[in-house]
C-alpha cells in the first residue's frame, strides 16, 4: 500500500539526522555522499577499500558517473571526510548502507551487507536512522538487518532507532535522471521509521515515495529490474526470429512506439550486463524458490539473455563464412567492451562471454574502448587497438560493435573493415558491409 505523503502528519515533522555515514563508496554510495553534503549535512564516507578512500581524499572519483570536479566541490565545503576506520562511524546519526550484493555460485551473497550492518550495530545509538540501499530480496531489512543489529546492540527498530529500505535507482551514464530528480522509495519497519527515512531523503531528492514496509520497497526495486530484464529478453528473442523472417525489428519497435499508451520500447543487444539487470532477478528468483515455486518469467528471460553472446558469435561465424573465411584464424575486433554505452563499467559485460566464445573457436580477438583501461578474459589480457584508423584496422576481418559509446567515431571502421556486425543498431543502413543481429 502506498502511504499518502500529503495526508500523513508523521512524514513531515521528523527532522533529518546528521552527520551521515555512507558505507560503500561506489556508483550508489558516492552520489548519496555528494547529495548529503550539498544539502548541508556533515558526511563520513566509509569504505573498506583503502585505495579508494585515498583517491577520494585527494579528489579522484573512482566512478565515471561522478566527476572529480563535483568531488572537489564537496571536499571544499569541509563537510565530508573519507575513511576506512570503522571507529569514525560512531559520530554519525544516520547510516546509509550501499555495499555490493553480488551472486556467489548463482546464489545471493549478502556477506558485504552483513559486514557493514555489523559495523553500524557496534556504534548505533538510540534515535539514529539506518537505511539499506543495496538491492536485495524482500525480507532482508526486517530479518537480517534488524536481527543482526538487535543481536549486537539490543536496539529494536521502531522502538529504539529507525530502520528503512530505500532502493537506489541510479542509472549510470544517464545525464537526465540523477539522484535528486528521481523519486526515492522509502519503506520503514514502522510508520515512524518511514517518517525518519523520508525526512532524510527529502533533503536529497525532489520526491519521496513512502511505502508501508521495507518489503514493498525491496520488491519494488526487484520488479523494476526484472521488468527491464524480461523486456530485453523479449526483443532479444524476437530479433533472432525477425532476422529469419526478413523483418527489420528496429523499424517494428519504432512503429510500435508511436502508440501513445501501453507500450515502452526496448532494444535488442549482445546480452545484459552491469551490477543490476543480470543479478537482481536472481535474488527474487532465489526467494521464490524457497516457497517451493519457480519464477518462470525470470528464469526464461535469464536463459534468453545469457544465450545472446553465443548468438553474436554465431552471427560472426556466418558473416565470415559468407566471404569464405572461417572464424578459426580470423581477426575479430570488439568495439566497446563495457556493459552499456557511455560507462567504463565492465562488470558482467556480455563482451566477456562473447570474447571467450570467439577465442575458443580460434578467432584472434582484439578490442577498442576509449573508456575502459584493460580487458582481461579468464586471466588473459586481450590486445587493445588504441585508435581506429586505416593502419590499425588493416588486418581486421570483422568488427563487432558491442557497445556504442557516444564518443566513438566509427567512420574509419566502416571504411576499412570488410565486415561489421552492429549489435546495437547504431550503424543501420550506413554501408553494405554492415549487418545487424
Ligand atoms: N551500480 C548501479 O547502477 C546500481 C543501481 C542501483 C542499485 N545498485 C545496488 O547498490 C549496491 C551497491 O552497488 P554499487 O554499484 O555502488 O557497487 P560498487 O562496487 O560501485 O561500490 C561498492 C563499494 O562498497 C565497498 N564495500 C564492500 N564491502 C564493504 C563494507 N563492508 N563496508 C564498507 N564498504 C564496503 C566496496 O569497496 C566498493 O567501493 C548493490 O546492491 C547494487 O545492486 C547499483
Alpha carbon nearest to ligand 1 atom 43, residue: 135
Residue 319 has pLDDT above 60, yes or no: yes
Please give the pLDDT value at position 8: 47
pLDDT in tens, 284-315: 999 999 999 999 999 999 999 999 999 999 99
- Give the distance (Å) from ligand 1 centre to CA of residue 313: 32
Across the range 191-204, mean pLDDT stands at 96
Sign of CA dihedral 403, 423, 312, 400: negative
Per CATH, domain 10-212 is 3.20.20.140: no
Which one-letter DSSP state was computed for residue 80?
Answer: E
Residue 102 has pLDDT above 70, yes or no: yes
Residue 13 has pLDDT above 70, yes or no: no
- For the CA of 116, the closest atom of ligand 1 is 31
Across the range 52-79, mean pLDDT stands at 93
Q: Strand 80-83 relative to strand 94-97: parallel, antiparallel, unpaired?
A: unpaired
Please give the pLDDT value at position 16: 65
pLDDT in tens, 114-159: 999 999 999 999 999 999 999 999 999 999 999 999 999 999 999 9
Please give the pLDDT value at position 138: 95
Across the range 257-268, mean pLDDT stands at 97
Residue 103 has pLDDT above 50, yes or no: yes
| 22, 25, 27, best to mutate for ligand 1 pocket (most atoms within 8 Å of CB) | 27
Question: Does 224 contact ligand 1 (Cβ within 6 A)?
Answer: no
Which pLDDT band holds residue 15 (cuts at 50, 70, 90)?
Answer: low
Pick the catalytic residue: 98, 193, 242, 276? 276
Question: Does 57 contact ligand 1 (Cβ within 6 A)?
Answer: no
Question: Does 222 contact ligand 1 (Cβ within 6 A)?
Answer: no
In the chain, the percentage of residues whose pLDDT exceeds 70 is 96
Catalytic site includes residue 193: no
Question: Does 348 contact ligand 1 (Cβ within 6 A)?
Answer: no
Q: What is the chain's mean pLDDT, rounded? A: 93
pLDDT in tens, 168-177: 998 877 889 9
- Give the distance (Å) from ligand 1 centre to CA of residue 361: 35
Across the range 188-206, mean pLDDT stands at 96
Joined together, the cell numbers standing for residue 279 give: 543479478
For CATH 3.40.50.720, the residue range(s) in the chain are 10-212, 215-437
369, 338 contact by CB (below 8 A):
yes
pLDDT in tens, 361-390: 999 999 999 999 999 999 999 999 999 999
Question: Does 22 contact ligand 1 (Cβ within 6 A)?
Answer: no
- Give the distance (Å) from ligand 1 centre to CA of residue 99: 4
Please give the pLDDT value at position 49: 98
Question: Does 64 contact ligand 1 (Cβ within 6 A)?
Answer: no
Alpha carbon nearest to ligand 1 atom 41, residue: 134
Please give the pLDDT value at position 414: 93
Sign of CA dihedral 60, 61, 66, 70: negative
**Of 221 and 173, more confident:** 221
- Give the distance (Å) from ligand 1 centre to CA of residue 340: 18
Using CA atoms, how far apart are residues 225 and 274, in angstroms rounded to an integer? Answer: 12
Which pLDDT band holds residue 17 (cuts at 50, 70, 90)?
Answer: confident
- For the CA of 115, the closest atom of ligand 1 is 31
Which pLDDT band holds residue 4 (cuts at 50, 70, 90)?
Answer: very low
Residue 10 has pLDDT above 80, yes or no: no
Long-range own/partner contacts, residues 316-320 (CB < 8 A, 24 or more apart): 316/358, 316/363, 316/398, 316/400, 316/421, 317/361, 319/398, 319/419, 319/421, 319/435, 320/397, 320/398, 320/419
Residue 11 has pLDDT above 80, yes or no: no
Which one-letter DSSP state was computed for residue 378?
Answer: T
- Give the distance (Å) from ligand 1 centre to CA of residue 136: 12
Please give the pLDDT value at position 432: 87
Across the range 16-34, mean pLDDT stands at 92
Classified by CATH at the fold level, domain 215-437 comes out as Rossmann fold (3.40.50)
Amino acid at each position: 500500500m502506498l502511504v499518502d505523503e500529503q495526508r500523513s502528519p508523521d512524514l513531515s515533522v521528523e527532522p533529518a539526522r546528521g552527520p551521515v555515514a555512507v558505507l560503500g563508496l561506489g556508483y550508489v554510495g558516492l552520489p548519496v555522499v555528494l547529495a548529503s553534503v550539498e544539502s548541508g549535512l556533515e558526511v563520513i564516507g566509509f569504505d573498506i577499500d583503502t585505495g579508494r578512500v585515498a583517491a577520494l581524499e585527494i579528489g579522484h572519483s573512482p566512478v565515471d558517473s561522478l566527476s572529480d570536479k563535483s568531488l572537489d566541490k564537496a571536499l571544499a565545503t569541509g563537510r565530508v571526510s573519507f575513511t576506512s576506520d570503522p571507529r569514525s562511524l560512531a559520530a554519525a546519526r544516520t547510516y546509509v548502507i550501499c555495499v555490493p550484493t553480488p551472486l556467489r555460485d548463482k546464489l545471493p551473497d549478502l556477506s558485504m551487507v552483513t559486514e557493514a550492518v555489523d559495523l553500524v550495530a557496534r556504534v548505533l545509538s538510540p534515535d539514529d536512522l539506518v537505511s539499506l540501499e543495496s538491492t536485495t530480496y524482500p525480507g532482508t531489512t526486517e530479518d537480517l538487518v534488524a536481527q543482526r543489529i538487535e543481536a549486537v546492540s539490543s536496539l529494536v527498530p521502531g522502538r529504539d532507532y529507525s530502520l528503512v529500505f530505500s532502493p537506489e535507482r541510479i542509472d549510470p551514464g544517464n545525464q537526465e535522471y540523477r539522484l535528486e530528480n528521481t523519486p526515492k522509495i522509502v519503506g520503514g519497519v514502522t510508520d515512524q521509521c518511514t517518517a525518519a527515512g523520508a525526512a532524510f531523503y527529502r533533503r536529497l531528492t525532489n520526491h519521496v515515495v513512502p511505502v508501508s514496509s521495507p518489503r514493498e520497497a525491496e520488491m519494488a526495486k526487484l520488479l523494476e529490474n526484472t521488468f527491464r530484464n524480461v523486456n530485453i529478453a523479449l526483443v532479444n528473442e524476437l530479433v533472432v526470429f525477425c532476422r529469419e523472417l526478413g523483418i527489420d525489428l528496429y523499424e517494428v519497435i519504432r512503429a510500435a512506439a508511436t502508440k501513445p499508451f501501453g507500450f515502452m520500447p526496448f532494444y535488442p543487444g549482445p546480452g545484459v550486463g552491469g551490477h543490476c539487470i543480470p543479478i537482481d532477478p536472481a535474488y527474487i528468483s532465489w526467494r521464490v524458490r524457497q516457497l517451493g515455486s519457480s519464477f518462470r518469467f525470470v528464469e526464461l528471460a535469464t536463459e534468453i539473455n545469457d544465450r545472446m553472446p553465443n548468438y553474436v558469435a554465431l552471427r560472426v561465424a556466418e558473416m565470415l563464412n559468407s566471404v569464405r573465411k572461417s572464424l578459426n584464424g580470423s581477426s575479430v575486433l570488439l568495439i566497446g567492451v563495457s556493459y552499456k554505452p557511455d560507462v567504463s563499467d565492465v562488470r558482467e559485460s556480455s563482451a566477456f562471454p562473447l570474447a571467450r566464445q570467439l577465442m575458443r573457436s580460434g578467432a584472434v580477438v582484439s578490442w577498442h574502448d576509449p573508456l575502459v583501461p584493460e580487458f582481461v578474459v579468464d586471466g588473459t589480457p586481450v590486445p587493445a587497438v588504441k585508435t581506429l584508423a586505416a593502419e590499425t584496422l588493416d588486418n581486421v576481418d570483422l568488427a563487432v560493435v558491442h557497445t556504442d559509446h557516444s564518443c566513438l567515431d566509427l567512420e574509419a571502421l566502416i571504411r576499412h573493415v570488410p565486415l561489421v556486425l552492429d549489435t546495437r543498431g547504431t550503424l543501420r543502413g550506413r554501408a553494405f558491409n554492415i549487418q545487424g543481429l
